[in-house]
Copies of this chain bind each other. A is one copy, B any other.
Amino acid sequence: MSTIRALTPALYHVPLPVVLTDSTHGEMRCFELVTCRIADEDGVEGMGYTYTVGAGGGAIRDLIARDLAPRLLGEPATTIERLWQRMWWTLHYAGRGGQATSAISAIDIALWDLKAKRAGLPLYELLGGFDARVPCYAGGIDLMLDVDALLAQTDANLRKGFRAIKMKVGRAKLSEDVARVRAMREHLGADFPMMADANMRWGVDQAIGAARALRPFDLVWLEEPTIPDDVTGHARILRDGGVPIATGENLHTLHEFAHFVRAEAVSYVEPDVTNCGGVTAFMKIAHLAESFNLPVTSHGAHDVTVHLLAAAPNRSYLEAHGFGLDRYLAKPLRIVDGCAVAPDSAGHGVIFDWQALEALRVE
């Protein structure tokens, strides 16, 4: 019997190795990591986490500690769907997404890790198992780099084994975006998979103009051209811009993804397992995409997500981007010939260096 005996969240401020820039969040110097450890009566432990780009982490920890933990302790860890519903409805009023979903995500990931460990299976096998090798791209956060620095970063990514690369767009002048994307295409050659991410920078017609200007460079997708609240706007951008659209890192419920899919407003469905509702919600979103003949990609948390895409026949690319969290992991993600490889140990296999993290802990 796997009864939840302990559920412990913690908050850390993790400095970034280098300052990151995109068109919406400006300069990012640190991110917030919220971890959640769940132990059952037999002493088996599952671990989950979520993160923010700098605000709201304290609230997420508070939701876990104050509101969710008391409602989960003593419950069977095995009935994840039931616990997920309980968490969702506990926080529904004034919740229904946002920080509530991030808190649920951290707990849900820990519960799936625990379940996989008890079953002696790597998470991707527990989830069905498709292919442990997942095509993977390097997610550059590089809007303010000049072209030389951008190409130098790109060469470093090629040396690391990446065979697909995403860059930021959304500079003040569209001509600068076009010049940067052209330089990357010329540097990488035809057929090399390249994506561009606008981080919600544009209005709808502006995004259509940008998509048309970028069409000659054969992007795999253009990401978050406008705010995630505008479903029909995305449909127009996709239809009239003529470039495939990825979005999802700022959608926080299964239903929000359904709205985009039904409206033909997205080409690449892109949930983040740490803010969409955890493994439980991510896999439903992947299946929703599959049912509509759409590929699924991912945002952030590549070490956990590699398992989810390794279980999804409609997986496209995994985003490799972890905010420099690799420094605090026992075994960072392996990239081989452009593919990330889901580890074969039981659970998700993400093991933090808790001692190193301790210095970053926030009360």
Could you list which residues of chain A lie within 8 angstroms of chain B, going by C-beta atoms? 24-25, 50, 52-56, 58-60, 62-63, 66-67, 89-103, 227-232, 250, 252-253, 255-256, 259, 262, 275
A-B contact pairs, 30 of them (CB 8 A): A24-B89, A25-B93, A52-B94, A53-B93, A55-B67, A55-B91, A55-B95, A56-B94, A56-B95, A58-B62, A58-B66, A59-B59, A59-B60, A59-B66, A60-B94, A63-B99, A94-B98, A95-B98, A95-B99, A96-B97, A96-B98, A96-B228, A96-B250, A97-B97, A97-B98, A98-B98, A98-B252, A99-B100, A229-B253, A232-B262
Q: What residues on B are CB-neighbors of A250 within 8 Å?
A: 92-93, 96
Are A96 and B52 in contact (CB-based, < 8 A)?
Answer: no
Q: With the chains together, A62 CA to B101 CA distance in Å?
A: 16
Are A56 and B100 in contact (CB-based, < 8 A)?
Answer: yes
Closest to A250 in B: B96
Q: What residues on B are CB-neighbors of A63 within 8 Å?
A: 55-56, 58-59, 99
Q: Apart from A56-B67, A59-B63, A96-B229, what are 18 other A-B pairs with CB-CB below 8 Å?
A: A52-B93, A53-B93, A55-B63, A56-B63, A56-B93, A56-B94, A58-B63, A58-B66, A59-B59, A59-B99, A93-B250, A94-B275, A95-B98, A96-B97, A97-B97, A98-B99, A99-B100, A229-B255
Q: With the chains together, A98 CA to B253 CA distance in Å?
A: 11
- Expressed in whole angstroms, the minimum distance between the Cβ of A207 and any Cβ of chain B is 16
The interface centre, meaning the residue of A50, A95, A256, A262 with most chain B CB atoms within 10 A of its CB, is A95
Q: What residues on B are CB-neighbors of A56 within 8 Å?
A: 63, 67, 91, 93-95, 100
